[in-house]
């Protein structure tokens, strides 16, 4: 088989299974409205949970940061790319979340890959929730450590797997809120099982940070759990991009020596760090509390309306409200119908989710209005008749 034949065969298989992915260029993709040129749709696919991506103070902070520092960092943080703006943001994050140190990464994907690659050896074991994000499972699969997966949110099976003999160290991996199902991990039980086995706990709280807990401190704070490694990302509630790892002093020093994503990758622009500091200030403020309350109200409104219409919902209490469709073709057809009604929802299909569980992933944000929720429910109900 030639290279071209290999590529053509893989693409043909994706098209045949209705899982071929395509990007859609948009004029505006975050916020209440999604726009393509002159057309616009109510946007129920954005992860901009608090509606901060267009916040005037955050936009102004980025502009001011660019005027002060320029548009790029100029190198990795080990060379010239670590500015006082980066340092200030790391200190603010560490204080906010109650950790000795925070380290910035260019993305959540990079943070997860870097942690697992730097920490795990061939005699070690990773025990990960089966529905963990692709960045976590891929990193675990590529690491020299043994990977075992436990049934989603099943702390008893986790404890059983952790109890098996091993000559190395053990790392439990899970998420605070799961990106495709929207449900929360039982972090207290998971932390107890991990501690009993002498392991470390790593939690990716991409979809919880900024949204839940006091001052938006996230899933771990809400459940009063302090994992050994906490990954928070800025592409959701913060309205920007990037990520940070919260950890101990020694672990931070270790990662600065051995995390290749930190050593060999250009750091985020200092202007972005300035904007993130402003986003954090908004998240921690009374305005942040009001935005979280608005989001909670929207979630309750959607779930109550969907239940009244007889729709089947998952156990999610988060901004992620998946509507399981089943067949890939039907999910694509429904998404297209909704777009024809000026509603933008994304059909999520395998391999992102398990086969037979294609879904419309509804994401709600503080930028929505109550009438937007009602319109979505109205159109969804009409598609079932």
Start-end of CATH 3.40.640.10 domains in the chain: 61-284
- Residue 115, pLDDT > 60, answer yes
**Average pLDDT value for residue range 223-245:** 98
Q: Which of 384, 370, 382, 385 is nearest to 42 (CA)?
A: 370
Smallest CA-to-CA distance from 66 within 268, 280, 281 is with 268
Q: How far is CA 78 from CA 36, 261, 262, 265, 324, in A?
A: 40, 11, 8, 9, 46
- What integer is the mean pLDDT of 45-56? 96
- Alpha-carbon distance 108 to 134, whole Å? 11
Coil, helix or strand at residue 57: helix
Q: Cβ distance 358 to 327 under 8 Å? A: yes
Enumerate the active-site residues.
47, 133, 175, 179, 204, 207, 236
61-284: CATH, from 3.90.1580.10, 3.40.47.10, 3.40.640.10, 3.40.50.2300: 3.40.640.10
pLDDT digits (tens, 9 = 90+) for 235-286: 999 999 999 999 999 999 999 999 999 999 999 999 999 999 999 999 999 9
Tens of pLDDT, residue by residue over 58-73, are 999 999 999 999 999 9
Predicted confidence band at 94 (pLDDT cuts at 50, 70, 90)? very high
Query: Which stretch, 278-282, 302-306, 314-318, has highest mean pLDDT?
Result: 278-282
**Which CATH entry fits the domain spanning 26-48+286-383: 3.40.50.720, 3.10.180.10, 3.30.110.30, 3.90.1150.10?**
3.90.1150.10
Tokens 């999610």 sit on residue: 316
Other CB atoms closer than 10 Å to residue 116's CB: what's the count? Answer: 27
Alpha helices, DSSP H only, in 151-266?
A: 155-162, 187-196, 219-222, 249-258, 260-263
Please report which confidence band the pLDDT of residue 23 belongs to, taking 50, 70 and 90 as the band edges.
confident
Task: Give dist(CA 83, CA 273) in Å, integer.
Answer: 9
Q: In the chain, which segments carry CATH 3.90.1150.10?
A: 26-48+286-383
């Amino acid at each position: 088989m030639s290279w071209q034949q290999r590529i053509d065969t893989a693409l043909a298989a994706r098209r045949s299974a209705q899982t071929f992915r395509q990007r859609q260029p948009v004029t505006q993709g975050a916020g209440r409205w999604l726009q393509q040129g002159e057309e616009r749709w109510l946007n129920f696919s954005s992860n901009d949970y608090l509606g901060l991506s267009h916040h005037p103070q955050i936009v102004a902070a980025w502009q001011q940061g660019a005027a002060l520092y320029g548009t790029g960092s100029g190198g990795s943080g080990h060379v010239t790319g670590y500015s006082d703006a980066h340092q200030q943001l790391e200190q603010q994050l560490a204080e906010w979340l109650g950790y000795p140190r925070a380290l910035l990464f260019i993305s959540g994907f990079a943070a997860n890959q870097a942690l697992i690659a730097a920490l795990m050896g061939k005699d070690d074991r990773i025990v990960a929730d089966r529905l963990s994000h692709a960045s976590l499972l891929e990193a675990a699969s590529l690491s020299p450590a043994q990977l075992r997966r436990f049934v989603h949110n099943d702390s008893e099976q986790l404890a059983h797997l952790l109890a098996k003999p091993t000559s190395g160290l053990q790392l439990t991996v899970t998420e605070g809120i799961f990106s495709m199902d929207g449900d929360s991990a039982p972090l207290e039980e998971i932390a107890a099982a991990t501690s009993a086995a002498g392991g470390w706990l790593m939690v990716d709280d991409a979809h919880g940070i900024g949204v839940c807990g006091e001052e938006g401190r996230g899933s771990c704070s809400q459940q009063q759990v302090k994992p050994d490694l906490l990954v928070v990302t800025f592409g959701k509630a913060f309205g920007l991009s990037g990520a940070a790892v919260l950890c101990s002093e020694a672990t931070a020093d270790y990662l600065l020596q051995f995390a290749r994503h930190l050593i060999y990758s250009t750091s985020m622009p200092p202007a972005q760090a300035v904007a993130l500091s402003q986003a954090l200030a908004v998240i921690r403020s009374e305005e942040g509390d009001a935005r979280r309350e608005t989001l909670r109200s929207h979630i309750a409104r959607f779930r109550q309306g969907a239940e009244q219409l007889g729709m089947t919902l998952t156990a999610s209490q988060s901004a992620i409200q998946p509507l399981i469709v089943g067949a890939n073709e039907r999910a694509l057809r429904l998404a297209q119908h909704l777009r024809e009604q000026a509603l933008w929802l994304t059909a999520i299909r395998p391999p992102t989710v398990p086969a037979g569980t294609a879904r419309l992933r509804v994401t709600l944000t503080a930028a929505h209005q109550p009438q937007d929720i009602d319109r979505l429910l109205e159109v969804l109900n009409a598609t079932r008749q």
